[in-house]
Amino acid sequence: MAWVHIGVVARAVGLAGLVGVAGSSGALASLERVLLRRRGEEGRAYRVGGARRQGRLWAVKLVGVDDRGGAEALRGLEVLAAREDLGEAGEGRHFWGDLEGRAVVTVEGEPVGAVTGFLETGGVDVLVVTGERGEVLVPLAPYVTVEKARIVVDPPEGLLELPAGTGRKGGP
């Protein structure tokens, strides 16, 4: 089963064990199960007892998490959903898991690398792209086009350049 990143537990919500999930665009409202984990670890599956929008977060009831302390203990964990439970992301939207491994090229066809990770910034999500140039950070901005088999970047000047004194290229 393929699991897809849909958010991160940002904080506890209230006293009854609800967790506040950031980075989710609404998939939580229809899910019956999620997986919570730290990156690189196996994680634990939870049944979803309900989810509602609460400001910029989703307040989610996870079956078995019954108090604020239990919810606080989950802070920082990645929230994933089974890919088959998600359906389509919607017009102009993409699940991170669907982009991982996808080739990234410039509009001239120059290879940049492949998507190896993602960063949530609170504004525009950022692709971590690894290739011969090293690691490049590419914001999912209007100059990025996600096609069926690849991602095309028309980078503004300097986006793919190596900043002085760093080992990481590009970035916000």
Domain that includes residue 35, residue range: 3-85
Cα 168 to Cα 132, 134, 157, 171, distances in angstroms: 12, 7, 16, 8
DSSP 148: S
**65 and 127 belong to one structural domain:** no
- Given a contact cutoff of 8 angstroms between Cβ atoms, the answer to whether 6 and 95 are in contact is yes
- What is the pLDDT tens value at each position of the chain, 172 positions in all? 788 888 899 999 999 999 999 876 677 888 999 999 997 788 999 999 999 998 888 999 999 999 999 999 999 999 999 988 887 777 777 777 778 889 999 999 999 999 988 877 767 788 899 998 789 889 888 888 888 889 999 988 877 775 444 444 444 4
Query: Domain containing 25 — which CATH number?
Result: 2.40.30.60
Whether 162 maps to a domain, the answer reads yes
In this structure, are 124 and 162 located in the same domain? yes
Same domain as 36, residue 110: no
